[in-house]
Structure 1
Amino acid sequence: MSVPPRLSMATLPSAAGAGMRAPRIDPAALDIGIVHLGIGAFHRAHQAVYTEDALAAAGESDWGICGVTQRSAHVRDQLVPQDGLYTVLQRGTGAREPRLVGSVRQVLATTEDDVVARLADPAVRVVTLTVTEKGYRLDRHGEPDLRDAGVRADLAGHAGAGHRPRTVVGTLVSALARRRAGHGRGLSLVSCDNLPGNGSVLRKLVTGFCAALPAPGGEDLAAWVAREVSFPSTVVDRMVPTTRSGDRDEIARTFGVTDAAVVVAEPFRQWVVQDDFAAGRPAWDRAGALLTADVTPYEAVKLRLLNAAHSLLAYTGALAGHETIAAAVADPELAAAAAALMVHDASPTLRPPAGLELSGYCDAVLRRFANPALGHRTLQVAADGSLKLPIRVLGTVRDRLAAGTEPTWAALAVAAWMVLLVRGRTDDDRVLAVEDPMLGHLRTQLGRLCDRPRPHDAARIVAVLLGVTEIFGDDLPAHPVFRDLLTAHVARLLTPTPRRPSRSAGS
């Protein structure tokens, strides 16, 4: 059986002729005005789609995207032979036919290409980022982590001939220094990661990196950044699971082209953006994004409801042997826990934006999670829990404790993460591939507690993990209510129970 030709500008007419929705703009007519750091599936299904729709609505052509891969050249190798074109394949109720997106006009790899030169181009006026929580390499105070080898190397090599920055913030600061020394034009740095006050976080990291540079150069650069660079905060929302071979096969079979870069997404999408731009922006509001002076209420709702419930389902679902989030939410016990976390623990801590009704939002979140067509893996969502829990769950814990209320369900999310970490197996003893940047350190701290932990080990497990101040701070380890809740949950999760058949997304 012959392999269909690769998707590209040359094969675009045949794919469109077979019924695929063509890009809404002429990709060849676009000039690059945006650099995106972290061009994974989420960006291609979210910001890149908003940008194309904005260009089409406004009739503009100066906001094409240069995407930058962060860890490997894999995405570049997918997109470059396709002239940056790729398909967005929607799954679930209300899904539209596949569409081709053409807003990505260049793809570079940090491992090989001179990204700093592109960032310093005066035509580039917006930089967006989806590099995940760990990509920022920040310490517990929100400053650059000076213990990180990459951060130290970038500080030592800053402005050195031939130095290629290794970190996101080091790359940005190198580019800002080159812009200041060259044309002097500012721009906007727009974090799209799930961090509270992500714009403020990025500003603090950039200025902190400048402050760590030798004086007076670092001080002068920091002053220029304060005058010429803005850091809008954002809230992003769209579920984008890992693309599977069947998704690529569907495109080849239906449209007669091979798309190595196809991404899968739910129909729903949301983007809330603080309207604070130093050098202009695309007309994202005309593409459905909400531009506002303050994203904080939207951010708190999303992190404490959707993201927190997602994490709870991921940890408890993985332990129960459920491969996908849809299978986990089909488990009545786990669905009830996720709903209780949102309704009873998190909702009382929130002041939602005008017009947003929290109970309806919670119901919609569970319906979205239940979409079996996405196949969103529990272990994918569960990754990097040591970084996600402080952002998604522990704020709710602190607020409920301060109000004199027990955060029962938020504590369950934390306890399930602890058991997933310490045991690394399902309830029926299947090994789970747990991913966490602190995994080795935490298991070293736990020592022999990781060897077949039993319910009577719960108090010691909780004591060890609560003592990790990078995650839990100085306050939560000393709080007896939280400690007792965690101990009870961990003991229950470690107690052998009759196994139910594990369920896949299609069950």
Structure 2
Amino acid sequence: METRRDTLNERLSEATLADLPLAVERPAYARADLVPGIVHFGPGAFHRAHQAAYADAVLADDPRWGIAAVALNSTGVADALVPQDGLYTLATLGAETRLRVIGSLLQFPTMRNPAAIVAQIAAPTTRLITATVTEKGYALTGEGGLDFANPAIVHDLAEPDVPTSYIGWLVHSLAERRRAGNGGLTILSCDNLAANGRRQRRAVLDFAEARDPDLARWIADVVRFPSSMVDSITPATDDALRARVAGVLGITDAWPIQRETFTQWVIEDDFAGERPPFDAAGAQFVRDVAAFEDAKLRLLNGAHSALAYLGLLLGHDSVGDAMNDPSLARFVEAMMRDEVAPTLGAAEGLDLSTYVVAILTRFRNPAIRHSLWQIAWDGSQKLPFRLFGTMVEARAQGGDARRLAIAVAAWFRFLALPRPPAPELIDPLADRLLDLAATGNVDALIDDSGIVPEALRGDAALRAAIRGAFRAMDGPAGVRGSIETA
């Protein structure tokens, strides 16, 4: 009798799908009936763990939302998944790990056949373009417009029919769609970039205007660029995951993906045509994504930073370890509910209390080990948005910010840690911050770091709260006493 180990030289594919163990979820639809209604640029791990999984969940009811996955700079995904008929395993990490085979990726046009990319975007069946190309892929200036000095943009404007940039490809393909008379569509950014829809629209229109003003007017009229917010921790695929998946499947998957149980996709309800039914898989369509972005930044990211600095000072290594510290967990929850949440306005579809519970549950996920050091790095870039702005808003509303002040003081204490044994500080302002921290002068850090907003610097009560928390952490009660008495 053939053993499961004997089949490990086989690959996941349509031919082997029926032989998978019953515990492994598989596509609940006939893949031969699917239509690639979505073109996605940047089919990396996050896309395959997130947007592709949402599409997979709705295809049984609506087969028109399959995906053509385009990678402009690599053939790695196509090389791994084409031999598997586009199939791959998603491992969802929670108290128990759940394995699900995703079947929504149907085509993999690459730069080896650029005409296929243009043809798919121009096709009348394509209704939606999505992208996870990172902020760099949009070729933006600091002011938010297209960077016409970017070498790829310079090239693409000089040779518009052989583009190299994401923006160049969009405009080139939209020009062909216009020529074919197939009407507008929706281009949806899924990158972790505030107001990503508006930024993407401006970049596309700037490029199109420079290439062909008539094309720019057509795009402005018939193409929509909604913003979206995405969230789910997606650890990198490693050999341990490959072995774990192979051990369950009994066959090899060249590129399985893993993510936490929690996933979120909030999408501005602004579509050129029919809206994809992703709400059936848990996505939210809303009028304004900004409120959700603010909630994520202040509640999730702000709590992460507070956990990182306080947790490291208390000797913890990961978010999970820090959340297993009862007094620290209570402190962070109280900060979120009593000081951060009141600074956020009401928004359609956003229940802040429920969101706080979801965040705390994520932090406690035993299957995700998120390093506090990783969160702690680059504080000068993160804290102005995660903590400082919230403090100023809380004070403007007459609210309490003492726990936020303790979190900021913990960052200052973190900067003052002896290195070694603490790792070298990773921050673009490391030299300046370390010199200021070495003085032990909180007011110097507030005034001279160059990152604390004027509204906070000029608030005597906030300064006193940070100064007092900093000194208390060096007193008999230490960091533990500071959080337990807050």
Q: TM-score, normalised by structure 2?
A: 0.79
Return the alpha-carbon distance in structure 2 between the equivalents of residues 331 and 428 of structure 1. 25
Change (3 A) 1:314 1:13: farther
- The letter for the 2-side match of 1:330 is N
**Aligned match of 2:484:** none
In the TM superposition, what whole-angstrom CA distance separates every residue of 1:378-397 from its partner, at most 9, and x where no partner exists?
Answer: 45555776665565445424
Return the alpha-carbon distance in structure 2 between the equivalents of residues 401 and 376 of structure 1. 31
Counterparts of residues 14-25 of structure 1 (less than 5 Å): 14-15=19-20, 17=21, 19-25=23-29
Q: CA deviation at 1:369?
A: 0.8
Match of residue 466, structure 1, among 450, 453, 456? 450
Match of residue 438, structure 2, among 423, 430, 454? 454
Change (3 A) 1:361 1:281: closer
In the TM superposition, what whole-angstrom CA distance separates every residue of 1:305-364 from its partner, at most 9, and x where no partner exists?
Answer: 223323433455466664432123223454344324422332111233467553343233
Match of residue 27, structure 1, among 28, 31, 42? 31
Contact 1:190 1:232 in 2 (8 A): yes
- Root-mean-square deviation over aligned CA pairs: 4.1
Change (3 A) 1:220 1:90: same
**Aligned match of 2:295:** 301
Q: CA deviation at 1:160?
A: 0.6
Change (3 A) 1:404 1:280: same
Match of residue 87, structure 2, among 78, 85, 98? 85
Counterparts of residues 12-411 of structure 1 (less than 5 Å): 12-15=17-20, 17=21, 19-58=23-62, 60=63, 62-69=64-71, 73-93=75-95, 95=96, 97-107=98-108, 117=118, 120-122=121-123, 123-133=125-135, 135-145=137-147, 151-158=150-157, 160=159, 163-166=162-165, 168-183=166-181, 185-210=183-208, 213=210, 217=211, 219-314=213-308, 316-317=310-311, 322-332=316-326, 334-353=328-347, 357-379=351-373, 381=375, 389=383, 392-393=386-387, 395-403=389-397, 407-410=401-404
Return the alpha-carbon distance in structure 2 between the equivalents of residues 88 and 52 of structure 1. 11
In the TM superposition, what whole-angstrom CA distance separates every residue of 1:224-273 from its partner, at most 9, and x where no partner exists?
Answer: 22101111222333333334433322211122112232222333333332
SS of equivalent residue, structure 2 residue 164: coil
Contact 2:222 2:272 in 1 (8 A): yes
SS of equivalent residue, structure 1 residue 454: helix
Change (3 A) 1:197 1:79: same
User: Any gaps of 5 or more consecutive residues in structure 1?
Assistant: 501-507
Return the alpha-carbon distance in structure 1 between the equivalents of residues 462 and 113 of structure 2. 47
Change (3 A) 1:42 1:207: same
Return the alpha-carbon distance in structure 2 between the equivalents of residues 382 and 48 of structure 1. 31
- The letter for the 2-side match of 1:141 is E
- The letter for the 2-side match of 1:100 is V
- The letter for the 2-side match of 1:190 is L
Q: Mean alpha-carbon deviation: is it higher for 63-72 or for 301-310?
A: 63-72
Q: Mean alpha-carbon deviation: is it higher for 2-11 or for 476-485?
A: 476-485
In the TM superposition, what whole-angstrom CA distance separates every residue of 1:80-106 from its partner, at most 9, and x where no partner exists?
Answer: 33222111212224x574110010123
Change (3 A) 1:8 1:207: same
- The letter for the 2-side match of 1:92 is G
User: Any gaps of 5 or more consecutive residues in structure 2?
Assistant: 481-486
Q: CA deviation at 1:487?
A: 6.7
Contact 2:412 2:437 in 1 (8 A): no
Return the alpha-carbon distance in structure 1 between the equivalents of residues 314 and 112 of structure 2. 39
Return the alpha-carbon distance in structure 2 between the equivalents of residues 144 and 418 of structure 1. 37
Change (3 A) 1:83 1:485: farther
Return the alpha-carbon distance in structure 1 between the equivalents of residues 44 and 472 of structure 2. 38
Return the alpha-carbon distance in structure 2 between the equivalents of residues 491 and 481 of structure 1. 15
Return the alpha-carbon distance in structure 1 between the equivalents of residues 258 and 160 of structure 2. 41
Return the alpha-carbon distance in structure 2 between the equivalents of residues 482 and 28 of structure 1. 62
SS of equivalent residue, structure 1 residue 35: strand
Change (3 A) 1:170 1:484: farther
Q: CA deviation at 1:154?
A: 0.7
Q: CA deviation at 1:143?
A: 2.8
Q: Mean alpha-carbon deviation: is it higher for 368-377 or for 401-410?
A: 401-410
Q: TM-score, normalised by structure 1?
A: 0.77
Contact 1:321 1:426 in 2 (8 A): no
Change (3 A) 1:127 1:162: closer
Contact 2:13 2:84 in 1 (8 A): yes
In the TM superposition, what whole-angstrom CA distance separates every residue of 1:265-316 from its partner, at most 9, and x where no partner exists?
Answer: 3333333322221132432223332333344444433332223323433455
Percent identity over paired residues? 39
Change (3 A) 1:126 1:398: farther
Change (3 A) 1:183 1:367: same
Contact 1:133 1:387 in 2 (8 A): no
Change (3 A) 1:138 1:368: same
Return the alpha-carbon distance in structure 2 between the equivalents of residues 73 and 82 of structure 1. 15
- The letter for the 2-side match of 1:20 is V
Q: CA deviation at 1:460?
A: 4.6
The answer to whether the aligner puts 1:429 opposite 2:442 as a matched pair is no
Return the alpha-carbon distance in structure 2 between the equivalents of residues 75 and 319 of structure 1. 41
